[in-house]
Amino acid sequence: MAITHPSFGKLEDDRIIIFDTTLRDGEQSPGFSMNLEEKLRMAEALWELGIDVMEAGFPIASPGDFESVLSIAQHFAKDGPVVCGLSRTAPADILRAAEAVKPAARKRIHTFVSTSPLHMRVKLRLEPEQVLDLVTSSVSLARQHTDDVEWSAEDGTRTDPDFLCRCVEAAIKAGATTINIPDTVGYALPEDMHRIFTMVRERVPGADRVILSTHNHNDLGLAVANTIAAIRAGARQVESTINGIGERAGNASLEEIVMALRTRHDAIATKNNIVTTNILRTSRLLATITGFDVQPNKAIVGRNAFAHESGIHQDGVLKDKSTYEIMTPESVGWSNTSLVMGKHSGRAAFRDKLKAMGYDIGDNQLNDAFRRFKDLADRKKVVYDEDIAALVDDEVVRGNDRIRLTALTVATGMATKPTASITLEVDGESRDGVAAGDGAVDATFNALRNAFPHDVNLKLYAVQSVTGGTDAQARVTVRLEEGGKLVDGQGADTDTIVASARAYVHALNKLLVKRERTEPPVVLRA
Ligand code: KIV
Ligand code: ZN
């Protein structure tokens, strides 16, 4: 039966709503936090990707979370995805979420409460009847602020089936328009999902008038399989994150769900609004912002996802790609020309290349990125799409940085103590620093502390290569800690030391933004 939904109007039976929670469930996992600017960039990329609902955050969690959801709602005040704010059942939670999503053209409040015996007893210390009352009161209050209300049964897959049906019925009666049954702890098997969604559809009065939603965690590596099983049993909304980021082992990965649905349309005939050719760039933007690359063998977006190494496979692919490729790399945004540009390429060609890769950046960023591209092309024999993506993402991420790396010289060798001299531009003012260290990277970081005195802990330093070869770009991640706050910075360059300095400076900039959010603006020490 076709559903009429407050945010989407009349929905065709086979339409799947793509609900993205990268900025909420994804962002709240350790090390994945983003600042406001980064969230806005991700939000824009997610909108361009074609998601339907964007869970922008948990507004009551902190002033920063509130501000992010509010800013995203303001960003999408005229047009955009449904902007969703999460809340528990307390009126203060719901009102905070309502206030944060208010400016959005289309908005949703997502309220949840635990329904499993274990969570109710240990976490909430409430009797089931009290939880049932909370379902009604929270959804009713949310409905006073938005027509579009989602209700979730936290730990739904470990909830007593009869009680789950009673809760879902109460939520629908109170006005919920989407009912989400999360596998919060990643415990369910695909057959459990099928059984639960079939049961809710068959037993709960009014279930045919709302959208049933599935939200799966990946503790057993089954999040995507469980999502597909729920769709087969009638779920019409899938909750997922880019690159599968999220609590513990993560959430179901958006790109895997979408490509499974597309590739196996023969088995599950559904449609959605995702522009699949934007998948790779969205995945890469998230990796650049958070500093966590996906593993090489990650489905769809991993470096090896479309690489054929064995002779037998290569032979087959050369004869006919479909022998070993079930979807085309181009369909998710991989370019089929690996060697792209050289040092003679001009600005117009560079702009065209970026366009073909799905980047739409402003003139100033383009100028800076082009300058770095020329510099890279001078130093590197071949410039691949991956190199350009790393460089542009790097530039985009650095848009409003207060501290910039302008020069770095390092002297090192077997018989010399490594020394580094660095020049930074801090709020437009040039600052120099010189220091020695226990290695080139250590000397560089010491010089940086010299040029811009600060007291933070270095928690992680990791180097990855963007492409193969000795002239490959290195992508470095640096994690800094200050007063319990963690930030990750990234930097890419053919020179690992320069990439390291960029990454450190990036992390430092993020720390400054974090400080400003909780304290009055920092006066930089001379
Ligand atoms: O995993 C979960 O149960 C959640 C809810 C808040 C929807 O993230
Ligand atoms: Zn979750």
pLDDT of 297-330, one tens digit each? 999 999 889 876 677 776 777 788 888 889 999 9
Give the pLDDT confidence score for residue 525 in this predicted structure: 35
- Pocket mutation for ligand 1, best pick of 152, 155, 185, 214 (most atoms within 8 Å of C-beta): 152
Q: Which bound ligand lies closest to the C-alpha atom of 158?
A: 1
Q: What is the mean pLDDT of residues 78-92?
A: 98
Q: Determine the average pLDDT of the residues in 70-85.
A: 98
Binding residue positions for Mn(2+): 25, 215, 217, 251
Angle at 418 between CA 417 and CA 424, to 5 degrees: 145
pLDDT, position 511: 83
Decide which of 202 and 474 is more confident. 202
Ligand closest to the CA atom of residue 213: 1
Hey, which of 114, 118, 215 would you mutate to test ligand 1's pocket, going by the most ligand atoms within 8 Å of its Cβ?
Answer: 215
Res. 377: pLDDT tops 50 = yes
Strand order in the sheet with 474-482: 457-465, 474-482, 485-493
Atom of ligand 1 nearest to the CA of 251: 1
Residue 524 pLDDT greater than 70, yes or no: no
Q: What percent of the chain has pLDDT over 90?
A: 66
When pLDDT is averaged across residues 108-125 and rounded to a whole number, the result is 98
Atom of ligand 1 nearest to the CA of 112: 6
**218 CA to middle of ligand 2, Å?**
10
Q: How far is the CA of 244 from the centre of ligand 2 (A)?
A: 11
Per-residue pLDDT for 498 more than 50? Answer: yes
Whether the Cβ atoms of residue 37 and residue 64 lie closer than 8 Å to each other: no
pLDDT band with cut points at 50, 70 and 90 for residue 520: very low
CATH number at 403-516: 3.30.160.270
Average pLDDT over residues 280-294: 88
Ligand closest to 58 (CA) is 1
Ligand 1 is surrounded, with C-beta below 6 A, by 25, 112, 152, 154, 180, 182, 184, 215, 217
More confident residue, 185 or 514: 185
Listed in sequence order, the DSSP H helices in 190-222 are 190-203
Summary mean pLDDT of the chain = 90
**Between the CA of residue 242 and those of 221, 239, 278, 290, 407, what are the distances in Å?**
16, 11, 12, 12, 35
Residue nearest atom 5 of ligand 1, based on CA coordinates: 154
Tell me if 435 sits within 8 A of 449, measured CB to CB: yes
Ligand 1 atom index nearest CA of 180 = 7
Atom of ligand 1 nearest to the CA of 217: 1
Q: Do residues 67 and 516 lie in contact, with contact meaning Cβ atoms separated by under 8 Å?
A: no
Q: Return the number of other C-beta atoms located less than 10 Å from residue 404's C-beta.
A: 16
Residues 6+ apart with CB under 8 A from 463: 474, 475, 476, 496, 499, 500
Across 19-28, 215-224, 262-271, 354-363, least confident range: 354-363
Is the pLDDT at 27 greater than 80? The verdict is: yes
The predicted model gives 417-434 an average pLDDT of 95
Atom of ligand 1 nearest to the CA of 239: 7
Instruction: Determine the distance separating the centroid of ligand 1 and the alpha carbon of 86, expressed in angstroms.
Output: 9
Which pLDDT score is estimated for 396?
66
Residue 123 CA to ligand 1 centre (angstroms)? 14
The pLDDT tens digits of the residues spanning 337-375 come to 444 577 778 888 888 888 777 777 788 888 888 888 888
Among protein residues, the one whose CA lies closest to atom 1 of ligand 1 = 184
pLDDT attached to residue 522: 35
| pLDDT score of 336 | 61
Q: What separation in Å is there between the alpha carbon of 247 and the centre of ligand 1?
A: 10
Q: Which of 211, 221, 225 is nearest to 186 (CA)?
A: 221
Q: In this predicted structure, what is the pLDDT of residue 116? A: 98
pLDDT at 399: 64
Known binding residues are: 25, 215, 217, 251
Residue 256: which H helix or E strand, with range?
Answer: helix 254-263
Spacing, Cα 180 to ligand 1 middle (Å)? 9
Give residue 361's pLDDT.
79
Q: Which atom of ligand 1 is nearest to the CA of 185?
A: 1
CATH superfamily, domain 19-268, is Aldolase class I (3.20.20.70)
Reported confidence tier of residue 290, pLDDT bands at 50, 70, 90: confident
Tokens of 361: 């950046």
